[in-house]
Chains A and B, each alone.
Chain A
Amino acid sequence: MTSDTPSNTELRSCSPVVPVSGWGRFPVSEAHLCAGERLEQVARHTVLSRGLGRAYGDAALPATPGEALTSTLFADRLLSFDPESGILRAEAGCPLWRIIEVFLPRGWFPPVTPGTKFVTLGGMVAADVHGKMHHSQGTFGRHVVSILLQVADGRVIECSPEHEAELFDATLGGMGLTGHILEVAFRMHKVPSPWIVEQTETFADIPSLLAALRDAGEKWPFTVAWADLLNPPPHFGRSALMKGRWAEPHEAPSHPPKPKRTVRVPALFPSWFLQTWMVRYFNRLYLYRARRNQKPRIVHPESFFYPLDALLDWNRLYGPRGFTQYQCVLPAEDGFERHIRFVHRLRELAAPVFLAVIKDCGAEGRGLLSFPRPGISYALDMPMMARTQAIVDALNEFVIAAGGRVYLAKDALTRPEHFRLMEPRLQRFLAVRDRWDPQHRLHSALAARLFGDRR
């Protein structure tokens, strides 16, 4: 026995082989999950860290079924908070909802949040998440002060914009492939009140929406649009733009908002359950309500930032076949002409877009594989079907021609040759990865699919 052999207690905290998948429930693989309160010990024997499993595709799946993954969920402590600088340091498994629960009543909020609070800090770094505030705040990585990383050979390295900057840059958006993220320190934002002022505006077509989205970004720190890309004209392209900002103390209730009630979707939905006609009716109802509700109002930050979180396990609505979210960003420097063509392309392909979220993106972050770049991002939920791969291929060809790229945290279907064409920074990322992990001890199904790792 070497000193490296895990003790009995550690062995017992690894599960037998269990099925694992991303949030899209496609693809499904199998892995041992190893967990413990001391991440540094647990991570030593695994090929990848996995948090709450909110990456949609294969980013947190093993390259070969049956490999051991670290579950970071029990390493969730808040380690220090400095109210002067707002710097919070916490263990990588700490979920965003815990940070909000503890800090929102005290007047602090994370500077950047994705569309769900069920993500871990480690995951937020690994995907370099962005949100409704990308045009004003950039990605999460912009606010990260330092990261404690266990690299492939077991060493624990602290990296930051000043120290081991290259490793730091590769870790932001690096999908966990540079090392196991153990701790993250980032700057929180002071908020004037724990409430949000929201205003909704509706549009009849995509061109007017895009113009309004661009204008709104100058005045509002949070913007996001929701479009109906499923109903045929005249409904096609009808959309709602949600704008938000933190309420000032005099505008808002003095008490902090209570946690939202949630409903869990049961596991019994079959794949045929969610039908196109149902989603069409839902979309029309949603827009009808948005049209009647255009006055500014004070809302709960959770209903503004995380509308879907009210429905726990909503991915089950798609049934066992699962779904994919195709998210891409397209440059908008020279106007919206190619965006209009992109939306038309979706119609030509008859893509079954059950949910379309459109966001304004600001400056590119420093993460080597960070997703956003200046332009407009489209996140499109589509059920998995025989022709989904063909649709994704066609969309990717469009995105490459337009100079855009796709989001790895959502992706399950992009081909390696397509990814190479849309990601000129890939070679730099791979070079950093090779330097720290020449044998590719840390790997994932995504790395095997896109970077051509040996399986």
Chain B
Amino acid sequence: MRIALLGATRGMGRAVARELARRGHSLFLLGRNESELERSAKDLEIHGAPSPVRHFRCDLSEPSSFAPALEAAIEALHRLDAVVVTAGIFASQDDLENDSALTAKLLDTNFTQTILFCEAARKCLLAGGGGTLCVFSSVAGERGRKPVVLYGATKAGLTRYLEGLDHRFYHQGLRVVTVKPGFVRTSMTIGLKPPPFAADPHDVARTVVRAIERARPVVYVPPIWALVMAVIRWLPRWVMRKVNF
């Protein structure tokens, strides 16, 4: 497959890109920082991606950069079979409550800008006859919860958008893969105490890459979270008010 990735220099995106490289997929990197893109491209070539892995500047906070970046990907790879979006930011609920600028940035990045990017990617994929759009949401969007009120809200919105997108464009050939990670040990979560079922990025990557290859609409990683969230979704409100998870 020929795949463009936004956010592949860091965290889970890096792990997913490596797993794709290991399986020999052709990759194109989108991101903010040229030198980081350069280094990650080298890393992916050594991990087995067809050389050269090219890259292009694309900043989630600049929607005008989306279309040119995706066009650059199509030009380099000749066509695009999939777009993977792992970019996004996280901040603790306490930090967000004390910093409205940070809150605005989080809401904007994780919801508005991410969706604008998905729209651009959707258009590119449909113009090429269809393809897979794989986006990282979170289990935090499944239920309103005390420690992730704001972050969870952005991810809930994103999840619903992706669900609708899948319904609307499925018959035109768009395959939407919504990834819902539980707790993953990345530099983003180093401040937090790992709960049960905490996963390492490379475990996540294997599951996600299989889902991309088979175009599964919803993936929980690690898979145990499907069960955990099924229970949490059905907990009555008075229980959610009492417990602190």
**Residues on A close to B: CB < 8 A?**
8-9, 12-16, 33-38, 71, 74, 77-81, 91, 102
B190 engages A14 (CB within 8 Å): yes
Chain B residues within 8 Å of A71, by CB: 190
Tell whether, in the assembled complex, residue B42 and residue A78 are in contact, meaning their CB atoms are under 8 Å apart.
yes
Please tell me if B196 contacts chain A, counting CB pairs below 8 Å: no
What are the interface flags for B146-188 relative to A under an 8 Å C-beta threshold, 1 for contact and 0 otherwise?
0000000000000000000000000000000000000000111
Pair A9/B9 contact, Cβ less than 8 Å: no
Give the Cβ gap from B53 to chain A, nearest Cβ, in Å: 12
User: Is A77 within 8 A of B187, CB to CB?
Assistant: no
Give every chain B residue within 8 A of A34 (Cβ-Cβ). Answer: 190
Number of A-B contacts (CB under 8 A): 56
Residues in A neighbouring B188, C-beta threshold 8 A: 12-13
8 Å CB contact of A78 from B9, B43, B91: B43
Q: Does B198 belong to the interface (CB within 8 Å)? A: no
Q: Please give me the residue from chain A that is nearest to B14 by CB atom.
A: A37
Residues B95-113 near A (CB distance < 8 A): 95, 99, 102
Q: Is the CB of A8 within 8 A of B91?
A: yes
Decide: A9 near B47, CB < 8 A? Known: A37-B10, A37-B187, A78-B42. Answer: no
Does A37 contact B9, Cβ atoms closer than 8 Å?
yes
In the complex, B191 has a CB within 8 A of chain A: yes
- Chain B's interface size range is 20 to 34
B residues contacting A by CB (< 8 A) are 9-11, 14, 36, 39-40, 42-43, 46-48, 89-92, 95, 99, 102, 186-188, 190-192
In Å, the complex CA distance between A102 and B22 comes to 9
| B191 and A77 contact, CB distance less than 8 A | no
Contact of A35 among B39, B90, B187 (CB under 8 A): B187
- Most chain B beta carbons < 10 A, residue from A12, A34, A74, A91: A12
Q: B42 near A14 (CB under 8 angstroms)?
A: no
Q: With the chains together, A347 CA to B9 CA distance in Å?
A: 55
- Do A77 and B40 form a contact, CB below 8 Å, given A8-B102, A12-B92, A12-B95? yes
Contacts of A91 in B (CB 8 A): 39
Residues in chain A near residue B191, CB distance under 8 A: 12-16
Q: A212 CB to closest chain B CB, in angstroms? A: 41
Chain A residue with the shortest CB-CB distance to B95? A12
In the assembled complex, the Cα of A33 lies from the Cα of B187 at a distance in Å of 10
Give bound CA distance, A79 to B102, whole Å: 34
Query: Chain A's nearest CB lies how many Å from the CB of B16?
Result: 14
CB neighbours of B95 from chain A (8 A): 8, 12
- Of all chain A residues, the one with the shortest Cβ separation from B193 is A18
CB < 8 Å neighbour of B89 from A9, A14, A74: A9
* Contact yes or no, A78 B190, CB < 8 A: no
Q: Which 7 A-B pairs have the closest CB atoms?
A: A77-B43, A35-B187, A78-B46, A74-B187, A35-B190, A15-B191, A37-B10
The residues of A that contact B90 with a CB separation of less than 8 Å are 12
- A9: chain B residues at CB < 8 Å are 89
Chain B residue at minimum C-beta to C-beta distance from A9: B89
Which chain B residue shows the least CB distance to A32?
Answer: B191
Contacts of A36 in B (CB 8 A): 187
Distance between Cα atoms of A37 and B46 in the complex (Å) = 18
A14 to B92 Cα, complex, angstroms: 12
Report how far A37 CA is from B8 CA in the complex, Å: 11
Rounded to whole angstroms, the CA-CA distance of A13 and B91 in the bound complex is 10
Taking CB atoms, residues of chain A closer than 8 Å to B48 are 102
Q: How far is the CA of A150 from the CA of B219 in the complex (A)?
A: 41
User: Which one of B39, B48, B91 has the highest number of Cβ atoms from chain A below 10 Å of its Cβ?
Assistant: B39
6 contacts between A and B (CB under 8 A): A8-B99, A33-B190, A36-B187, A71-B190, A74-B186, A78-B46
Tell whether, in the assembled complex, residue B43 and residue A79 are in contact, meaning their CB atoms are under 8 Å apart: yes
Q: Is the CB of B42 within 8 A of A77?
A: yes
Task: Give bound CA distance, A122 to B38, whole Å.
Answer: 21
Which residues of A sit under 8 angstroms from B43, Cβ to Cβ? 77-79
A16 CB contacts on chain B under 8 angstroms? 191
- Alpha-carbon separation in the docked complex, A142 to B102 (Å): 49
Inter-subunit contact B89/A79 (CB<8 Å): no
Q: How far, in whole Å, are A410 and B191 apart by their CA atoms in the complex? A: 28
Which residues of chain A have C-beta atoms less than 8 A from B46's C-beta?
A: 78, 80-81, 102
Task: With A37-B9, A37-B14 as known contacts, state yes or no: A13 contacts B187, CB within 8 Å.
Answer: yes
B36 partner residues in chain A, CB cutoff 8 A? 37-38
Distance between Cα atoms of A20 and B92 in the complex (Å): 23
